[in-house]
Amino acid sequence: MSERTTERKQDHVEICLHGDVVFNGKTTGFEQFVFAHDALPELSFSDIDLSTTFLGKAIGAPLMISSMTGGYSEAATLNQRLAEAAERFGIPLGVGSMRQALENSSYRESFAVVRKYAPTIQIFANIGAPEVAKGLKKSDINTMLELLQADGLIVHLNAAQELFQPEGNTDFRHVLDQLAILTANIPVPVIVKEVGCGISASVARRLIEAGVKAIDVAGAGGISWQKVEEIRYTRQFGQERRFSLPALDELLNWGIPTAQCLLDIRALKKESPAFNAIEIIASGGIQCGTDIAKSLALGAQLAASARSLLKALHDSTLEETITSWLNDLRAVMFLTGAATIAELRHKTLITKP
């Protein structure tokens, strides 16, 4: 079982780097918005401050490196380099699913390495909804949190991915009940994320009522995990089809665009102080600092990225990429007259005609 998990995590990195895995005919929706220009910004570019907070802690910029990997030997190197970059910029970092670390102690170091190279930032453990649905043991929770000295646990909802995965677990009963038990018994905040199909307002409502403290929408428009798993399925079983051809295209590109998730959840937040207290992470197809800026103006506390940063890491340009995204963000702040991230959140986005 755990060898299969190891291979799967390796396949994911390789396919995400080299496969055709982006949504076809569906975008994040960020391109539909532009900021209103401020010809009188009344601030000095050099005074722009990107620092903000996430779950009550100060962070260097409103960006997070999304959960990706761990659980095999090369993952230690990837995680080390992601951790070094996150530490340098003072931004949060999620690790990949820790199921492997629970099944087999051999590769726990590939997770532990993160805290070694990122002693001061927020680091988040990660586990899938199917594991949560079975009921996480207290010892499992402690193992994950202790390995990373984690600041929180991220639970990923990935029904479409599991559906397409050759060895996927499609039993999603009891996830919500078990989440409520988890949030009541864990000493750190629980964050729930999708992996590319997005979180609607009605799902967000149920998650908040179950005690979740932050939601990462991980919407459509970046990577399609259905496509990643379809590539793995085809490698394993040839062209054998599980779905009809006309439906396949729709299923491979299934999901709510990232900007749409943010708009829907922003409306939900107006309903009550409890809903308003939830912190939203914008992810799914983030490609630059203007996407980050638009995310914040659409109600997110910060934006997060996985595949674009993995590609940058692979090209040895991770730190340059993050630097350029933060420069994009500063440029938008200058041109909208926002000296701080708090001010940027209130700037006007116009829908393109």
Minimum distance of ligand FMN from residue 162's CB (angstroms): 12
Among 8, 193, 213, 269, binds ligand FMN (CB under 6 A): 193
DSSP 99-167: HHHHH-GGGTHHHHHHHHH-SSS-EEEEEEHHHHHT---HHHHHHHHHHHT-SEEEEE--HHHHHHSTT
Q: DSSP letter for 340, please.
A: B
Pairing label, strands 57-59, 279-282: unpaired
Single-letter amino acid code for the residue at 32 = Q
Which part of the chain contacts ligand FMN (CB under 6 A), choosing from 84-92, 179-187, 283-291, 338-346?
Answer: 283-291
The C-alpha atoms of residue 349 and residue 97 are separated, in whole angstroms, by 35
Which part of the chain contacts ligand FMN (CB under 6 A), choosing from 60-68, 205-213, 315-323, 332-340?
Answer: 60-68
Among 79, 110, 126, 165, binds ligand FMN (CB under 6 A): 126
Q: Which is nearer to ligand FMN, 264 or 338 (CB)?
A: 264
The C-alpha atoms of residue 224 and residue 181 are separated, in whole angstroms, by 30
Which part of the chain contacts ligand FMN (CB under 6 A), choosing from 165-173, 182-190, 279-287, 323-331?
Answer: 279-287
303 is a contact residue toward ligand FMN (CB under 6 A):
no
220 is a contact residue toward ligand FMN (CB under 6 A):
no
Residue 127 — φ and ψ, nearest 5°? -150, 155
Residues 66-85, interacting with ligand FMN (CB under 6 A): 66-69
Q: Which is nearer to ligand FMN, 158 or 336 (CB)?
A: 158
Under DSSP, is residue 192 helix (H, G, I), strand (E, B) or coil? Answer: strand
Closest residue to ligand FMN, judged by C-beta, is 222
Single-letter amino acid code for the residue at 215 = I
CB 33 within 8 A of CB 259: yes
By residue count, the chain amounts to 353
Residue 93 — φ and ψ, nearest 5°? -140, 135
Minimum distance of ligand FMN from residue 346's CB (angstroms): 26
Minimum distance of ligand FMN from residue 103's CB (angstroms): 14
Per-residue burial over 275-288, b if 16 or more Cβ lie within 10 Å, else e, is beebbbbbbbbbbb
305 is a contact residue toward ligand FMN (CB under 6 A):
yes
Looking at the DSSP bridge assignments, the partners of residue 257 are 220
260 is a contact residue toward ligand FMN (CB under 6 A):
no
End-to-end C-alpha distance for the chain, whole angstroms: 52
Among 121, 220, 310, 344, binds ligand FMN (CB under 6 A): 310
Pattern 138-177, binding to ligand FMN, x per CB under 6 A? ----------------x-x---------------------
Minimum distance of ligand FMN from residue 11's CB (angstroms): 9
Q: State the residues that interact with ligand FMN by CB under 6 A.
A: 12-13, 16, 66-69, 96-97, 126, 154, 156, 193, 195-196, 218, 222-223, 283-286, 305-308, 310
